Structure 1
């Protein structure tokens, strides 16, 4: 698990390779990732959007942007957290992801960006 804290918001990410949804013969490797977003600050925040940077080990790069996470724009109260699971497909059995969440502090409608720490997407057989 990797973790990063930005402006009182802690983001932790765990990953798992999905062999049942992968097809290595066709350069298709599927990974799931679980994100936990914890509000360690004093004010309620809303997650508005996400911006991902995705890297394959073959040098391919792509970016994904969108509103919310898995169709939601959760409000996270102080001392609370929001968890979700999503997925990413790669053309190689190794890669990385990192990014940012655009958040809004509800007290004063101030926008700020929260860093999503870089994490590895690696098929387990590559770890030997």
Structure 2
């Protein structure tokens, strides 16, 4: 039986949603025509260097459809963030109707501790017609 790694919360490591914007000119498939760009900041106010190594988002649409997005790093990177520094990035989701997203980033400290930093839930509200 495989042992699951234990991810700890590290005091001083926070993930913030800076902005969520509907962007109608982004390419989106007809079945999910609404594109939203979101801006995320990872803040490292701990005493150790950290590296973001993975992510997991859960997007729930109003009809109950649930999409799980997970993978290595963020936006093709595994950023190293020094104490007192931030890492900011943006990405996007396409949806068919109003949705909410939440998730977490996973990483490792310079001392080898595996950690999890939760992303606060955010809303993707459709534009009014």
Bin the TM-score by the shorter chain. Answer: 0.7 to 0.9
Q: CA RMSD for the aligned pairs? A: 2.1
4+ long deviations beyond 4 Å = 22-27
2:41 aligned with 1:36, yes or no?
yes
Q: Per residue, is there more helix in 1 or in 2?
A: 1
Q: Distance in 1 between matches of 2:93 and 2:100?
A: 10
Report the TM-score, using the length of structure 1 for normalisation: 0.85
Q: Distance in 2 between matches of 1:43 and 1:113?
A: 14
Among residues 87, 102, 126, which one is paired with 1:98 in the alignment?
102
- Gaps in structure 1 of 5+ consecutive residues: none
- The 5-angstrom pairing of residues 70-81 of structure 1 reads 70-81=75-86
**Residues paired across the two proteins, number:** 120
- Gaps in structure 2 of 5+ consecutive residues: 1-8
Given that 1:7 and 1:114 are in contact with CA atoms closer than 8 Å, whether structure 2 keeps it comes out as: no
Q: Distance in 2 between matches of 1:24 and 1:73?
A: 29
